[in-house]
Amino acid sequence: MNIGLYQGAAALSGLEEWQQSISHNIAASSVAGYKKTDVSFESMAAGIIGGPAASTLPVALEGETPQATGRVNFQQGQVAQTGNPMDLAIEGEGFFELESFDGKTVYSRNGQFHLNSDNVLTNALGHLVQGSGGSIQLVPGRGEVGIDKTGSIFQGGVSVGKLSITRFDSPENLERTSGGFTPGEKSAGPEQMDEPHVLQGFIEGSNVSPIREMVNLVTVSRAYEAGQKIIQQFDQQMQSAVRILGDTR
């Protein structure tokens, strides 16, 4: 078998994965706190390729194929002022802690919060924002809501709770889920941050550059065309070899 065909097919598969990541990045570029996925390529062992015993080359060679690997880029996005007291941004490291409908803990950088019908602080998906004592519930008519840099919440000048802001030693091990991230198998447990840097009335944008992603799309398209041509050339060479060797005249 011609290893070149397998290498070409693996390259095309990796380029398709990269294209999907780019599409997701562009689609979510306007989502607050979204972290883009970067794709890198590395070689992967593909077994041993046998060689002719009479050849001056080694009898066997180790074959390799390209493999695409996607990793979340946790670089901070641009922080912009909104003036909405329910909009929060974390400057530096840290994640908001939320509870989903099924009781799972979700960690997010998206601080676009609001109050539901029960005056409980939630995100756009309805996940409950967590404080040091559980969900955060405000009292109607008690006064304006103020949140200081440590995440302490005040209403009418009275302390009503503190946001649960956590950090991870290796955030790259987190896995995407609806509304944020959950710890992966290799993730160490979250650490509570005593002195986070929370900004009230601000939102962290995504760290996606749509222009850069469009450039990447063009790069993928050109690489895919080149990969297709290489596979076609290998296929034509094999057809010629079969035709010549199969001619018994």
Residues 112 and 225 in one domain: no
Strand partners, 60: 50
Residues 94 and 111 in one domain: yes
Residues 70 and 152 in one domain: no
Q: Is the pLDDT of residue 172 over 80?
A: yes
Scanning the structure block, which residue is given the tokens 């078998």?
1
Residues 101-147: tens digit of each pLDDT: 999 999 999 999 999 999 999 999 999 999 988 999 998 888 899 99
Burial letters 1-21, b for 16+ CB under 10 A, else e: eeeeebbbebbbebbebbbeb
Residue 159 CA to residue 132 CA, distance in Å, equals: 12
**Residues 132 and 113: beta-carbon distance below 8 Å:** no
117 vs 234: which has the higher pLDDT: 117
The candidate with the shortest Cα–Cα distance to 58, out of 45, 48, 47, 66, is: 48
Residues 65 and 139 in one domain: no
What number of other Cβ atoms are within 10 A of residue 111's Cβ? Answer: 24
Into how many domains does the chain fold? 2
Residues 195 and 95 in one domain: yes
Q: For residue 30, what are the domain limits?
A: 3-74+208-245
pLDDT band, very low/low/confident/very high, at 58 (cuts 50, 70, 90): low
The candidate with the shortest Cα–Cα distance to 7, out of 241, 210, 234, 212, is: 234
pLDDT at res. 187 = 79
Q: Global pTM?
A: 0.80
Q: Is the pLDDT of residue 231 over 90?
A: no
pLDDT band, very low/low/confident/very high, at 63 (cuts 50, 70, 90): low
Residue 226 CA to residue 185 CA, distance in Å, equals: 37
Residue 46 CA to residue 7 CA, distance in Å, equals: 9
pLDDT at res. 2 = 63
Residues 232 and 132 in one domain: no
The candidate with the shortest Cα–Cα distance to 28, out of 58, 61, 63, 72, is: 72
Residues 97 and 199 in one domain: yes
Residue 26 neighbours by CB under 8 Å, 6+ apart: 208, 210, 213, 214
Quote the mean pLDDT of the chain.
86
Query: What share of the chain in percent tops pLDDT 70?
Result: 87
pLDDT at res. 4 = 65
Q: Is the pLDDT of residue 48 over 80?
A: no
pLDDT at res. 181 = 95
When pLDDT is averaged across residues 4-11 and rounded to a whole number, the result is 74
Burial letters 169-207, b for 16+ CB under 10 A, else e: eebeebeeeebbbbbeeebeebeebeebebbbebbbbbb
